Structure formats: C-alpha cells, structure tokens
Amino acid sequence: MIVGLGNPGLKYRNTRHNVGFRVVDLWAKSLGVRLDRTRFQGRFARTRFQNAEVILLRPMTFMNRSGESVRACIDFFDLQAENALVVHDDVDLPVGRVKVVRGGGAGGHKGVLSAIQNLGTHDFPRIKVGVGRPRYAGESVEDHVLKSFYRDEKEVVERVVKMAAQACELVVDSGVDAAMNHFNSMDLAVS
C-alpha cells in the first residue's frame, strides 16, 4: 500500500504539505489508474505493478487524522504496517531531496504521528520529500507547509515529485534498501 499524505480541498492543492498527494497522483497516472474510489475516509485505487498488487491511498481526513484512514485501509486488506509506504513532506530536507527510510519518529509531522499512533508502531517505510524550511524571519513552519513553493523552487519540485514516484516503484519492485541506496544521495537542486 502506498499512502500519500496531504490535506483535501482546492485551498491546499499546491501547498508543500500536499506533496505526498502529488507523488501518489503522478504514480497512479503513470499506472493508468485514478484514485476515484471512496472508502477508508480516503480516495484509493487498486492496480498491479511488476506482478504485485498495489493499493494507492490518499487520506481525506486532513493531515492530523491521516492515520485513521491508513489504519482502516490496512485492516480491510489485512496488511501489516511494514507494507504501508507513506509518502510525505519533510521540512528538514531541502527542496530537491528525497529520502527513503525504514521507520523512525514523526519528526514533528502530524500526519506521520497520526499514522504511528493509529498503527501502534513506527516500523513502516516512508518516502520523505524535501520541502525546505521557511526563508523569512517570522514565518512559522506550520504556515510554511500550508503555502505554495517559492517561485524559484517550482521547477525542481516538479522533478522531485517524479523522482519520489520512481522511488515508490523501486520500493515495490526491489525493496526499501534498493530505493534507499539509489535515491538518498540524489539532490535535484544541484545543477
């Protein structure tokens, strides 16, 4: 199961916090499916990739309750937490970076915290997409992630969303370690 975290609604569509949605949507499009089924407090699709059944999920609960949707989907399909790959934004990574990890804490991310709380474990893989920290004094991290990317970041963001979708493919095809080895040292912001 591949879960892209974000917030529902047009107001949040192009925000930093919704980069997880963008990654899952892009991968779904490349697989020829749309997340047009509604269940688990989210939108989802089932498809196949490299002989594996894949469930793509976008929780529609708002970020801080994402774990409720993840838990409902895992329970319905009788999956283990380690089979849920969560794609989310990360302010501690600069724009242009993707980091694949096996588990860990929430790092202040309320969507990841909700998933940890609802799954009862932090042992699930993640793809962290760098969205950077605020550039300007007085801008809080909370406000920063609910805004669009800076104009000079938008081209890099398009490429990094594609890279994160490729990381999803590699996790499904070859495993977390292969994806970590391939993507964690890349930086698309470096020319």
What positions carry a catalytic annotation? 17
The greatest distance separating any two alpha carbons of the chain, rounded to the nearest whole angstrom, comes to 49
Rounded Cα distance between 133 and 122, Å, is 24
Contacts of 134 (CB under 8 A, 6+ apart): 140, 141, 143, 144
Contacts of 93 (CB under 8 A, 6+ apart): 99, 128, 129, 130, 131, 132
CB count in 10 Å sphere of residue 60: 19
